[in-house]
Amino acid sequence: MSEKSPKLRAELDGIPTYKPGKPAAAGGAVAYKLSSNENPYPPLPGVLESAVAAAGRFNRYPDMACTDLVNELAERFGVPVDHIATGTGSVGVAQSLIQSTAGPGDEVVYAWRSFEAYPIITQISGATSVQVPLTDGDVHDLDAMYEAITERTRLIFVCNPNNPTGTAVRRAELERFLDRVPSDILVVLDEAYREFVRDTEVPDGIELYRDRPNVCVLRTFSKAYGLAGLRVGFAVAHERVAAALRKTAVPFGVSQLAQDAAVASLRAEDELMGRVGALVCERDRVHAALLGQGWTVPDTQANFVWMRLGERTADFAAACEKAGVVVRPFVGEGLRVTIGEPEANDLFLHTAEAFFKQM
C-alpha cells in the first residue's frame, strides 16, 4: 500500500478556521448566546408551518432555480428576475462571487477588521487578500481602500454596516468611492444587517446598484428574518454577474425548507419588522447605557455593539460567560455583543458596569 497522502492545493495551507460564535452553556444554567448576531425570536408560526410542510417532501430535490423566492424578491425590490442569485447563506453567495472573479495572482480588497469569512473564502480561491485598516473610529476608510486598488484587483467588499464594529458608511462617501472605482472591478456591498439600519444617510445598496453594472448587493435571511439555521441568502446584481453566480453555486444548495420559509418570511414582513424594531430599540438602549457607564462604543447600525477592549478582551469575555452571557471576543482587539432578549441585554450591561468599575 502506498504511504503517500492525497495532494492538496498549497493555497489551503494556513487558512484561518472560521470561528462560530460560542453556544450558550447547556445544563440548565441561565445562559444567553450573544455571540453570532442571531435573531433571538423563535420562528413566526406561519414561517414554521411552511418549513414543516416542505419537510414532508424532503425525499425530493429542491427547486434548483428557487423560482418562488426569486420571483418574490424581484417584485419586492423592483428588479428583473435574472438579477437575483440565491445561495447557501450570503456567505455561500460571497464565495461564489470570489470564485467568479478571482483566482491565483488576483487581489480581493476589504476593510479589516471585517467579516471573518472574507480572508477564508479569498484564500480558498487562491487569490490574495488586501486588508485595509479601519479608521480610528472603526469605520471603513474608503479613500485608503481606493488607494489599495491595483491592476490585479478583481473584487472589493464593503461591509455596510460592518461586522464586527456595527459602523456604517454614508451615501455621499460611498457614492464618491463607487464613482472612482474602475468599472471592471466588482464592488460587493455586503448588507447582511441592512434591516437594522436607522441612519437615513446610510444608503440602500439596491438603489446604488441599479445604474452601476459593477455593483452587487448581498443580503441574507439569517439575521433580521431569523432563518440562520436554514441557510439562505441572495445577491442582487446585473445579469452577467448574477449568471456567473448561478454557474458557480452548489447545485440544489438551498433546501426547499429554506426557500419556502424565506417566502413565508417575506410575506410576514410586517410582523418580522416589528421584531426588528424592538431589537433596534434594545440596541439603542444598550449603546446608550454603555456610554453612560463610561465605555467608548462606536455608533452601531447593526444588531450588535463593538467594544475595543484590547488586552482586556479575554478577561471581559470570561466575566460575561461567568455571568451567563456568551459574547464574541477577538482576543487582543475587542468584543462584539449581539443584541438579544432584554433579560440577556440587562445581564450583559450589569457585567459591563461591574467590569468597568474594577478596571
Integer-rounded Cα radius of gyration of the chain: 21
244 contacts: CB under 8 Å, gap ≥ 6: 96, 100, 101
Is the peptide bond preceding residue 20 cis, with omega within 30 degrees of 0? no
Shortest distance, CB of residue 253 to ligand PLP, whole angstroms? 11
Comparing every residue's Cβ against ligand PLP, the nearest one is 89
Which of 254, 289 has the CB closer to ligand PLP? 254
The phi, psi pair for 232, rounded to 5°, reads -145, 130
The phi, psi pair for 258, rounded to 5°, reads -65, -45
Which of 125, 163 has the CB closer to ligand PLP? 163
Which of 91, 297 has the CB closer to ligand PLP? 91
Which of 192, 272 has the CB closer to ligand PLP? 192
The candidate with the shortest Cα–Cα distance to 37, out of 300, 269, 271, is 300
Which of 20, 78 has the CB closer to ligand PLP? 20
CA distance 107 to 322: 42
Shortest distance, CB of residue 165 to ligand PLP, whole angstroms? 11
CA distance 339 to 279: 7
Shortest distance, CB of residue 228 to ligand PLP, whole angstroms? 6
Which of 157, 355 has the CB closer to ligand PLP? 157
Instruction: Give how far Cα 173 sits from Cα of 58, 162, 190, 253, Å.
Output: 47, 15, 16, 36
> Residues in the site for ligand PLP, rule: CB under 6 A?
37, 89-91, 115, 159, 163, 190, 192, 220, 222, 228, 233
Shortest distance, CB of residue 199 to ligand PLP, whole angstroms? 17
According to DSSP, residue 123 is labeled H
20 contacts: CB under 8 Å, gap ≥ 6: 36
Which of 117, 344 has the CB closer to ligand PLP? 117
Which of 116, 341 has the CB closer to ligand PLP? 116
Shortest distance, CB of residue 233 to ligand PLP, whole angstroms? 4
CB 295 within 8 A of CB 335: no
CB 239 within 8 A of CB 214: no
Shortest distance, CB of residue 219 to ligand PLP, whole angstroms? 8
The candidate with the shortest Cα–Cα distance to 262, out of 44, 21, 47, 37, is 47
Shortest distance, CB of residue 293 to ligand PLP, whole angstroms? 26
Shortest distance, CB of residue 307 to ligand PLP, whole angstroms? 17
The label of the residue with cell 452577467 reads 240
